[in-house]
Amino acid sequence: MSPAQSATSASVTVFASPGSWIESSAVAQCHQVATLNGMIHVAGMPDLHPGKGAPIGAAMASTVLYPFLVGSDIGCGIAVYPVRLKKAVPERVAARFPDLDQPVDPASRSGEDIPAGYTEQLGTVGRGNHFVELARVDAVLDGEHAARLGLTTGDLVLIVHSGSRGLGERILRAHTEVHGAGAAADPAAYLAAHDDAVRWGHLNRRLMAERVADAIGAQLGEPVTDVCHNSVEIRDGVYLHRKGAAPGDGHDVLIAGTRGTHSYLVAGHAGPDAGHSVAHGAGRKMSRADALRRGRAKHTVEELRRTAVGSLVVCGDRQLLFEEAPTAYKRIEQVIGDLVSYGLATPIVSTLPVVTYKTADLAPRRGGRR
């Protein structure tokens, strides 16, 4: 490329109002990415926060394919499955949740579309910000759209946030060991592996929805959305990388709040300036280390397990409970408000958690009562 081009930096637009606090290092990461060879445009979402090398909550368009801009959890996304359940008492539902750290037995699922090659973690949720949540539609915000999706106030849904587990990590590592943060040497080969991980992620979320519905005695419907927020696609002839950003052009997307606040199902209508994308969640306000340190001083384990909205959090890992405390995240209403004010999305319904599953409870329940 010419020296003139190498001196040019791609455009950076951050879709956050002045009142929305964005960590300066995350904006700096956007500008760092903008200097990469071939980069055209970087769009930061209102949930933008610093990641490892690349920002989280960004869509990045480039003539060059960079695997590290998708990250290791290729195919991570959020699905919403309507469920029917007679009674949703948090304690009873929480006690019946299956152990989602244990994989499904592929042999028990003959006839299904189980991919060959990587079955050892199928049906598992993973860690970090991943979860499976029984939630209730709290408010209908666009009646016509909600009716089209068959959703109304009081309806129960399963929200599944997970990805491709070790498979995506393996794909990124295979690239990184040779090329580091460089471009994909064989874009077609990377894309083929990437697409496998995206399919694996969708299947993983569906298997978890089925497992949980079975275990809690719920009837499972077809998903109203299942959109992946770590991916790359060829769009307008260039590579559009998304890391913590969901395709927001004509898709309905669940934007996750925290384990103790609302989440929002929105209709995305983002244009090219926004990288055809919308936010994927509330966005971290604190690093995991800060959340752990400050959370221990501020919260009890009990208040994190039984939230202010009356929901239960199933999580036998105390460190994870603090790292994922609602106070470690930005206010989801601020993120949704920014998307609305920039014309990127329209809220359809809000949900509130009933039971959020993070990882199996440690000690067996006492007294034997279920």
Partner DNA sequence: ATGTAC
Please list the active-site residues: 280
Restricting to residues 154-193, name those near DNA by CB under 7 A. Answer: 162-163, 165-166, 168-169
Contact region for DNA (CB under 7 A) — 81-89, 106-114, 127-135, 336-344? Answer: 127-135
Largest CA distance in the chain: 73
Q: What are phi and psi of 126, to 5 degrees?
A: 85, -165
User: Is residue 37 part of an annotated ligand binding site?
Assistant: no
By beta-carbon proximity to DNA, the closer residue of 68 and 81 is 68
CA–CA gap between residue 262 and residue 258 (Å, rounded): 7
Contact region for DNA (CB under 7 A) — 34-42, 65-73, 86-94, 264-272? Answer: 65-73
Give the residue, chosen from 20, 121, 258, 261, that forms a contact with DNA under the rule CB under 7 A: 121
User: Which residue, 1, 25, 46, 101, is CA-closest to 280?
Assistant: 46
User: Is residue 194 part of an annotated ligand binding site?
Assistant: no
Give the residue, chosen from 67, 126, 257, 347, that forms a contact with DNA under the rule CB under 7 A: 126
Give the residue, chosen from 46, 65, 66, 73, that forms a contact with DNA under the rule CB under 7 A: 73
Give the residue, chosen from 2, 5, 52, 110, that forms a contact with DNA under the rule CB under 7 A: 52
Give the residue, chosen from 76, 146, 151, 315, that forms a contact with DNA under the rule CB under 7 A: 76
Size of the residue set binding DNA (CB under 7 A): 17
By beta-carbon proximity to DNA, the closer residue of 169 and 361 is 169
CA–CA gap between residue 332 and residue 311 (Å, rounded): 17
By beta-carbon proximity to DNA, the closer residue of 130 and 241 is 130
User: Is residue 222 part of an annotated ligand binding site?
Assistant: no
CB of 213 closer than 8 Å to CB of 81: yes
Contact region for DNA (CB under 7 A) — 68-76, 231-239, 245-253, 311-319? Answer: 68-76
User: Is residue 204 part of an annotated ligand binding site?
Assistant: no
Q: How far is the CB of 96 from DNA (least distance, A)?
A: 23
User: Is residue 41 part of an annotated ligand binding site?
Assistant: no
Binding status of residue 334 toward DNA by CB under 7 A: no
Binding status of residue 202 toward DNA by CB under 7 A: no
Binding status of residue 130 toward DNA by CB under 7 A: yes
Contact region for DNA (CB under 7 A) — 84-92, 119-127, 137-145, 211-219? Answer: 119-127
By beta-carbon proximity to DNA, the closer residue of 163 and 275 is 163
Binding status of residue 103 toward DNA by CB under 7 A: no
The three-state (H, E, C) secondary structure of the chain, written as one string: CCHHHHCCCCEEEECCCCCCCCCHHHHHHHHHHHCCCCEEEEEEEEEEECCCCCCEEEEEEECCCCHHHCCCCCCCEEEEEEEECCCCCHHHHHHHCCCCCCCCCHHHHCCCCCCCCCCCCCCCCCCCCCEEEEEEEEEECCHHHHHHCCCCCCCEEEEEEECCHHHHHHHHHHHHHHHCCCCCCCHHHHHHHHHHHHHHHHHHHHHHHHHHHHHHCCEECCCCEEEECEEEEEECCEEEEEECEEECEEEEEEEECCECECEEEEEEECCHHHCCEEECECCECCCHHHHHHHHHHHCCHHHHHECCCCCEEEECCHHHHHHCCHHHECCHHHHHHHHHHCCCEEEEEEEEEEEEEEECCCCCCHHHCC
Binding status of residue 128 toward DNA by CB under 7 A: yes
User: Is residue 297 part of an annotated ligand binding site?
Assistant: no
Instruction: Summarize the annotated binding site for GMP as residue ranges.
Output: 129-133, 229-230, 263, 280-283
Residues near DNA (CB under 7 A):
52, 71-73, 76, 121, 126-130, 162-163, 165-166, 168-169
Instruction: Summarize the annotated binding site as residue ranges.
Output: 129-133, 161, 229-230, 263, 280-283
Instruction: Summarize the annotated binding site for Mn(2+) as residue ranges.
Output: 130, 161, 229
